[in-house]
Structure 1
Amino acid sequence: MKKFLLFIFFAFLLYLFFAPFSALFKHLLTTEIVPHPFVETFRSSLLHTALRNTFGLGLAVASLSAVFALGLAFLFTRTDFPLKSWWRGAFIMPYTVPPIVGAIAWILLANPNNGFLNVWTGWHLNIYSFIGLVLIETSFLFTYVLLILLKAFEAIDPTMEEASRMSGATTWQTFRHVTLPLLRAPLFNGFLLAFLATTASFGVPALIGTPGGIFLLTTQIYTFQKMGSMSGILKASSLSLILMGLAFIILLLSEGPLRIRQFATISGKTPRPQIAPLGSWKWPLFVIIAIIFGILFVLPLSAIVLAAFAKVQGILTWSNFGFSNFERILFHTDETFRAFVNSLLFAGTAGIFCVLAGFGLAYALKYVFSPRLKGVTSILVSLPYVTPGTVLALALLVGFGPGLFGSWLALNSTGFLIILAYSIKFLNFSYKTLEDGVGQIHPCLDEASRLSGAGTWQTMRYIWWPLLRPSIIASFFLVFMPAMFEVTMTVLLTGPGLETIGAFIFHLQEYGDLGGGGPAVLALLVIIPTGLFNFFLKFISKGKYGL
């Protein structure tokens, strides 16, 4: 009976994963519109421009992110850089903040009309440009590469670098001929992750690129879908398939370069790495890093704070600061309360579903089904995460909008569709966390409990729950936090009365806030709980999860 129920559970998850995309394919292939929307879209100059912009932006952001993260990781792990533990945590902080918050901050700083920097300095900065897109995307996505490289540096056996130095090699020669080859795979993986994240990004390109006439594949999908016509939906579907195919082709091609030349490190206990002295470069580098951190994090955060408290944007006088924006947004804007309630409800429900589904998958693969299915399952739950959010949202609209099963239980313009999107997108986080937790519980504990007369519920309550509690809480928040402030999928799936914080911030910034400062208030209300959630996650998991 248990195997049958778990089989039904697996089949249902497979249906949730593949039914929307098969419906998207079928919807596009069976249309009788002439000329065919796919052919029309493929021939369109808009597609060529969007592809060119998407590729160019992805390569620029991924390259800058890889170079910058590599330099930071080397400074923080292999040199005597001052206060490197503090700087390490500080540079990871942007990872916890939604990129749309950064876009709003830089609009406040460098929009050509009344940006703070333009007003105060007389400069003529224009954030609505390709350089602006690269700056904002890089300031967030470099943390993806940094996290990978920091772990990679810690995994390298330092005796290999020490042997190089004892052979007379300089610090640079050791880094170039020993360390860098060992970092090739993680560096390439980080580059690829930043590239895919850039091509799938929507919030930043919509707020920064669209006003400057720079269209990407994601913003074109949004534009076509919002047309509301069948032709628009079919064109959006065509672009979605192209973007999804692009993502999967890149993932497949990425396997090649890493097989050309691989390195293995074989060692027992890893000694401490030898720290390279920076000498006279120590404090100049410290100043440079501090300036970069100020530009990437302190300056945007300061702009959000000033805009949130300023009655009139751009004026720096004590009389101009107050709580009028907070009062207007929190107490006189109906959508604010509804957006917070919806975000908590949707993200919380998705978090609970992912915890249950992740535990079910991890438990079944260890105790019921063949462990050989673990690799297949890992790929299946990872596919929706690497699929661009706009593509997944459109597939859900086409596949499950008319009904979850055919025409039964229509989900279009309902909160259930948003919850389903969050659950499918972020199940990967929950499953990987709980797989790790379940793997650390020896089967003999389960057997001992049952031999003592405990039933399934008692075993779960007294054995599994105490041991898995940190992993369960961590897996919930790893889904809840990104879902709480998600923008890309939500703006396509939301409807009247279904506002969420992410979508509300986007619409408030996109369609204008007459009081000026409303998006900044909401951005502050995103940053503060995100930081608190991260602290709580680290505390509960004893530093294993969180930043």
Structure 2
Amino acid sequence: MADLTASAARAGLRARLPGGDGLVIALIALYVLGLGLWPLARLLLEAFGPDDAGRPLGLIREALFSRAARAALANTLAASAGSVVVSVTLGTALALALGLMRLPGRVAMTFLALAPMLIPSQIMALAWIELFGSSSPILAPLGLAPGAGARNPLYSGAGVAWLMGIEHMPLVFLAVRAALGAVPSDLVEAARIAGAGPMRIVARVIAPLCLPQILAGAILAFAAAVGNFGVPALLGIPGRFPMLTTLIYQRLNGFGPQVLGQVAVLALMLIGLAGLALLARSALIRRLSVPVAAGRPFAGFDPGRGRGGALAALWAVLGVLLIAPIAALLGTALVPALGMRLTAETVTLANVTQTLADPVIRRAFANSLGLSLSAAALSALVALPFAWFAQVARESLLRRLDTLADAPFVVPGTVLALAMILVFLPPLPGLGVSVYGTPVILLFAYLARFLPLVLRPVGGVAQAMEPALDEAARIAGAPALRRIARIFTPLAAPAAAAGAVLVVMTAFNELTLSALLWSAGTETVGVMIFALQQQGNSTGAAALSVLSLALVLALALLTDRIARRSAPWVLPWRGGV
């Protein structure tokens, strides 16, 4: 670690830029290397280490011969593959419908289609649990809920696959929508002139052009499913369907840091699966992408008389997938006790008031808000000079680190949490104190994982920036840091602000990192929702989830207001709509 840091600092200080720019470059490099890349490298070294008997690669050998590890790996592969089928079916159908038909309310429907990306996995899982429970506020009045005492059908491998498929469906949706934006209208017009109707045009012209992106989105959904923790934790643990992420959690929770070497091997399996999937995606895009002549993008079909039916069908699908589960969650939060019917006489806010009165939950809210706001502010502070030096000044060290900065976001969150424990469990060099068990280690993990949420939109502004603006200021004698402050920051501020709000939305309810890094006094909202559900307090978990969703919705509206005029492309529900 010391060698890497010193090397990065020397490389930054040798930068041919005036003033204190070399120090800024060195600090950014230290951020990326120290918080993201070095912990992941340390984890890999641990996994390849010897076992207690000193045998080379002994930890990997133990894992390969472990029945529990092999079962968890098989379950992970099966559930992830099943989830891809769900993601591709739903994501492709919704993207084609919303992208090819000129319908009113497309922004609202697109937001709902992308909502699983904004709603934390543990809250989505809890909502579906309440929807299919025996006391479901939605299905019970219709006589469709399971009988009292019956096992919830979602507590199974199929339930895990179904829910992960819904959660990762937006990845396929976004990939297909991006492909639709590249379809030139000339091709569609030629097919129309040849007498093809809309359905044949979709099947013979548009679908083949979208196929590479559909497959790429499917592989990305598989990589995301492999590292999912929230859904397997709430459905797989009670359903006795262990996956690699939950096996890591259960072993660390049961045996503590002394099994770090063993769980590092499980993390290595996750990295291998996700890495192979991402490599396959890259190769597939290069091999199957079809070059299409640039032209005016196709604006979509006018559904004509079928507009009403198409709208009804889309709202029905979105209602079943998203509105009904959230309504069931809200209904559970408003009944006095689990099992009671939601009526005008039984509705109550007691669960909400009791949740807000609990000092541990209030502390969790304060911790999550403080950590997410700190991570957002620091990420924006780093992203602005990082993007400028990498894209405008084209500084070689930061250009290389710009790509590597995505690594902590791409790897499964469980893997990053383990890496943080390995590096930050011992006392920090020179300080003699350990940040393990404190909010600092959570902040470090958030900073490493969520930097790309701000860096990518800010980097897009830097790439699109008119070079003459910066060149004129440079000729006038303005140093680099002043040009960043006076020219680049005002241009990139809307994108940075929108990205920062996305960090708050993501980090506030985060569970995957927090489940392994929290300790007494550092509880987060995601951890408390999981803990309440594990304790059987479903109404309390539902009430806390509803409060969290209300905050996420408020932040989404704030992000929309910030970015829709100056940087709408950073909003996934507005880009391309």
Structure 1 pair 525/488, CA: closer, same or farther in 2 (3 Å)? same
Shift of 1:99: 1.9
Cα shift readout 1:275-301 (whole Å, capped 9, x = no counterpart)? 16476x665554443332222122111
Report the 3-state secondary structure (helix = DSSP H, G, I; strand = E; otherwise coil) of the residue aligned with 1:225. helix
Kindly report which structure 2 residues correspond to 1:130-529, keeping only aligned pairs within 5 A, or say none.
130-229=157-256, 232-268=259-295, 270=296, 272-273=298-299, 275=301, 277=303, 284-313=309-338, 314-331=340-357, 333-370=358-395, 374=399, 376-405=400-429, 408-449=432-473, 459-513=483-537, 516-529=538-551
Structure 1 residues 366 and 129, CA gap change in structure 2 (3 angstroms)? closer
- Residue of structure 1 equivalent to 2:13: none
CA shift at 1:440, angstroms?
3.6
Q: How far is 1:208 from its partner?
A: 0.7
What is the alpha-carbon distance in structure 2 between the residues aligned to residue 168 and residue 372 of structure 1? 56
Deviations 1:102-133 (A, max 9, x none): 11112222235x44467542643522122322
Report deviation, 1:450: 5.9
**What's the CA shift for 1:392?**
0.5
Query: Which range moved further: 76-85 or 417-426?
Result: 76-85
Does the 8 Å CA contact 2:376/2:501 hold for their aligned counterparts?
yes
Cα deviation, residue 2, structure 1: 3.6
What's the offset of the Cα at 1:217? 0.7
Change (3 A) 1:503 1:157: same
Q: Which amino acid aligns with 2:403?
A: I
Asked if the contact 1:538–1:545 (Cα under 8 Å) also holds between the matched residues in 2, the reply is: no
Q: Is the 8 A contact 1:538 1:544 kept in 2?
A: no
Letter aligned with residue 257 of structure 1: L
SS of the residue corresponding to residue 569 of structure 2 reads coil
Verify the 8 A CA contact 2:130 2:329 in the aligned structure 1: yes
Higher mean C-alpha displacement, 6-15 vs 355-364: 6-15
Deviation of 1:428 after TM superposition, in Å, equals 1.3
Kindly report which structure 2 residues correspond to 1:86-97, keeping only aligned pairs within 5 A, or say none.
86-97=108-119
Cα deviation digits, residues 509-529 of structure 1 (max 9, x gap):
12232xx41111111111112
Distance between the aligned counterparts of 1:61 and 1:373, measured in 2? Answer: 37
Please give the alpha-carbon distance, in whole angstroms, between the structure 2 residues aligned to 1:63 and 1:79.
Answer: 24
On the 8 A contact 2:223/2:278 being kept in 1, the answer is no
Cα 1:217–1:271, aligned 2, differ >3 Å: closer, same or farther?
A: closer
2: distance between equivalents of 1:230 and 1:494? 14
Structure 1 pair 465–81 and aligned structure 2 pair: CA distance change class (3 A): closer
Three-state SS of the structure 1 residue aligned to 2:345 is: helix
Q: 1:160 to 1:241 in 2, by over 3 A?
A: same
Return 254-263 or 491-500, whichever deviates more.
254-263
Conserved in 2, the CA contact under 8 Å of 1:28 and 1:238?
A: yes
Separation of aligned partners in 2, 1:131 and 1:237: 27
SS of the residue 1:141 aligns to: helix
Any idea what SS the aligned residue of 2:241 has? coil
Instruction: Output the TM-score relative to the length of structure 2.
Output: 0.86
Which stretch of the first structure deviates more once superposed, 122-131 or 365-374?
A: 365-374
Residues 1:539 and 2:564 are matched in the alignment: no
Give the match for residue 11 of structure 2. none
Letter in 2 for 1:139: I
Which residue of structure 2 aligns with residue 56 of structure 1? 78
CA contact under 8 A between 1:226 and 1:232: conserved in structure 2? Answer: no
Give the 3 Å change call, closer, same or farther, for CA 231–170 of structure 1 in structure 2: same
- Specify every segment of 5 or more residues in structure 1 that has no aligned partner in the other structure, as ranges: none
Paired with 1:274 and 1:116, the residues of 2 have a C-alpha distance of 39
Deviations, residues 133-181 of structure 1 (Å, cap 9, x unaligned) = 2332222221222122223212210211221232233434322332122
Pairwise CA RMSD: 2.6
Structure 2: distance between partners of 1:493 and 1:230: 11
**Kept in 2: contact 1:352–1:476 (CA 8 A):** yes
**3-state SS, counterpart of residue 212 of structure 1:** coil
Distance 1:271-1:489 versus aligned 2 partners, 3 A rule: closer
1:244–1:388 contact (8 Å) kept in structure 2: yes
Larger mean CA deviation between 170-179 and 207-216 belongs to 170-179
Instruction: Report the 3-state secondary structure (helix = DSSP H, G, I; strand = E; otherwise coil) of the residue aligned with 2:237.
Output: helix
Letter in 1 for 2:370: L
Q: Which stretch of structure 1 is more off in the superposition, 174-183 or 496-505? A: 174-183
Cα separation, 2, equivalents of 1:145 and 1:6: 38
Runs of 5+ unmatched residues, structure 2: 1-18, 147-151
Aligned-pair identity in percent equals: 26
Give yes or no for the alignment of 1:9 onto 2:27.
Answer: yes
Shift of residue 349, structure 1, vs aligned partner: 1.4
Q: Does 1:33 align with 2:52?
A: yes
Identify if the C-alpha distance between structure 1 residues 318 and 29 changes in structure 2 by more than 3 Å, giving closer, same or farther.
Answer: same
For residue 396 of structure 1, report the CA deviation from its aligned partner.
0.6
Alignment of 1:16-27 (within 5 A): 16-27=35-46
Q: Indicate how the Cα distance of structure 1 residues 147 and 32 shifts in structure 2: closer, same or farther if over 3 A, else same.
A: closer
Which amino acid in the other structure matches residue 142 of structure 1? Answer: M
Shift of the 223–143 alpha-carbon distance from structure 1 to 2, 3 Å rule, reads: same
- CA change 1:107–1:369 in 2 (3 A) is same
Letter in 1 for 2:228: S
The number of residue pairs the alignment matches comes to 540
Deviation at 1:470, TM superposition (A): 0.8
Distance 1:297 1:257 in 2: 31
Letter in 1 for 2:261: L
Q: 1:126 aligns with which of 136, 141, 153?
A: 153
Secondary structure of 1:430 counterpart:
helix
Partners of 1:128 and 1:208 within 8 A in 2: yes
Tell me how far apart the structure 2 counterparts of residues 251 and 19 of structure 1 sit (CA, whole Å): 21
AA aligned opposite 1:382: D
